[in-house]
Amino acid sequence: MQLTRIKQLNATLVLKSGLHIGAGDTEMRIGGTDSPVIKNPLNDKPYIPGSSLKGKIRSLLEWRLGLVGVANGQPFSFEHLRRHDTPAARDLLRLFGGAPGGNVEDLVRAIGPTRIAFWDCALNADWLASLEARHLLVTEAKSENRIDRIAGVAKDPRFIERVIAGAEFDFRLSLKVIDDEELLPLLLRGLKLLEADSLGGSGSRGYGKLALRDLTLDGRPIQADFDAIDAFVAVA
């Protein structure tokens, strides 16, 4: 195996609806929200963890490739590949890696290292400056509750912090290329699936809808090619 190239994908990630990626904060604050979003401790601004992007895109591709049932709902791994060895399954593990487990050393050697690396997405500096110039906040507290079907009244009110719709983040990832392999088409399909679905919590209630804008590959614009991709055309 030989590393022949490292490709760089950059874009602006734009929120179409409020985004909630929880901070796991259990501390009670007077006047605070019940579920705050994750923030950079250095500037107290929300960001999108690369791990959240990687996990969601991987999950969507596993569903698209029919691997969820094979792995019985667990992340598809080398042990699962032993039982379900297809070119698409191998490419998935090349992109995202997998837990070895069991007698799979030969497969681990054949697949090699994880190719993809996501960066945490910080708020775009120009967008943030324009927001602060208008004295607006980056997050909102969205109230939610449960409706008693018989009484018709709201119960159990709670407040969920969300990054506001319209927020822009700097999106970046790198893709290692080994022996001139071509894994970019599968990765781009995963990004299209993400646009069609959602990121973070409560996607079924309208949270976390997003779009990628001004996508480039090694500085070359590829947004038009990306927009033309149909994620449900058979993956070669």
Residue pLDDT, tens place only, 61-99: 999 999 999 888 899 988 888 889 899 999 999 999 887
Q: Is residue 29 part of a domain?
A: yes
**Residues of the chain scoring pLDDT < 70:** 24-34, 101-102, 145, 148-149, 151-157, 234-236
Domain count of the chain?
1
Residue pLDDT, tens place only, 43-58? 999 999 999 999 999 9
In a domain, 88, yes or no: no
Could you tell me the pTM of the whole model?
Answer: 0.88
User: How far is residue 161's CA from residue 141's CA, in Å, rounded to a whole number?
Assistant: 4
77 occurs within a structural domain: no
Using an 8 Å Cβ cutoff, are 6 and 156 in contact? no
Distance between CA atoms of 18 and 4, rounded to whole angstroms? 40
30: left (phi over 0), alpha (psi -120 to 50) or beta: beta
Q: Which long-range contacts (CB under 8 A, 24 or more apart) does 225-229 make?
A: 226/188, 226/191, 226/192, 229/188, 229/189, 229/192
Residue 85 within any structural domain of the chain: no
Chain center to CA of 66: 19
| Domain extent for 218 | 3-50+114-227
Q: Is residue 138 part of a domain?
A: yes
**Measured between alpha carbons, how far is 96 from 190 in angstroms, rounded to an integer?**
11
Q: Is position 73 within any domain? A: no
User: What 8-state DSSP symbol labels residue 45?
Assistant: -
Residue 96 lies in a domain: no
